[in-house]
A and B are shown apart, each in its own frame.
Chain A
């Protein structure tokens, strides 16, 4: 695209990523955390593709990798949601307090 330098696009993805990060550490709902995770992954997919397109147009690494990210995100979301449903069945709520049993 003319007129849009790579740095602008990268700024955009960076902001998106960090918003996702803020959501990840702030949310109390497990699903909310997952949603923030999606934001981060999306931002990264765009990042990879943009770096590929602007700096190394001849190769396909970035593009294919973005594809993989999407596939992976879908798989991981499916698993995470299955776990969340189990947690809900066991404890009746989806608050992040419920999974503290990792603790000593």
Chain B
């Protein structure tokens, strides 16, 4: 049962991804991205990582995608098709990508993974403790760094995005 679900989700995600990169219209690309994000969230839920799934939904799907939509609306006429590069170049790019992908897949399938099958759920409590713990496996430093980065990004976005008039 779960396997089938997984394969359906995978299928949705892949198809949406293909559509994202191949569509003419920007607005549609954002929407297909939204589908991808939702699919990924579903995968997280299936993998027993509820917290991350929830974060994915709220931050990514609810924040980033919406941001994209804002910018798309602000920057151009939504319905107009965007240009594509010449078919020849697209084909070359596609072939290159497929080759590289084949290489990566080969690497994956020829490696001998030592799977440990224990069903372990990652709880939010564990994650929370880990983020703020000073011990050997604690992530307090990374946490602080991420906070600073977010602050910097926030300030940066404000500074970059303001118009000349708003200097007053």
Contacts and interface: CB of A to CB of B under 8 A. Distances in A.
Interface of A: 1-7, 10-12, 14-16, 18-23, 25-29, 31-32, 34-36, 38-39, 42, 45-46, 49-50, 53-61, 63-64, 66-68, 70-79, 81-86, 88-89, 93-95
Nearest to A15: B14
B68 A14 contact: no
Given A5-B115, A84-B75, 5 more contacts: A6-B113, A18-B104, A31-B26, A35-B20, A54-B115
Interface string B113-125: 1111110101000
B131 A64 contact: yes
Interface residues of B, number: 80
Contact of B122 (A46, A63, A84): A63
Nearest to B98: A18
A46 B40 contact: yes
A57 B116 contact: yes
Contacts of B59: 70-71, 74
A60 B115 contact: no
Contact of A36 (B21, B131, B157): B21
B75 A3 contact: no
Nearest to B48: A53
Q: Is the interface of B mostly helix, strand, loop or mixed?
A: helix
Interface in B103-136: 104-105, 108-109, 113-118, 120, 122, 126-127, 130-131
A92 to B, nearest CB: 9
7 contacts: A22-B21, A25-B93, A32-B21, A38-B60, A39-B36, A63-B49, A84-B75
A81 B71 contact: yes
A68 B142 CA distance: 8
Contacts of B68: 31, 34-35, 77, 81
B33 A35 contact: yes
A14 B104 contact: yes
A60 B47 CA distance: 14
Given A56-B116, A64-B130, A81-B71, A22 B94 contact: yes
Contacts of B84: 26, 28
Given A46-B40, A74-B63, A81-B71, A93 B76 contact: yes
Contacts of B114: 55
Contact of B97 (A5, A22, A78): A22
A38 B32 CA distance: 12
Interface in B25-55: 26, 29-30, 33, 36-37, 40, 43-44, 46-49, 52, 55
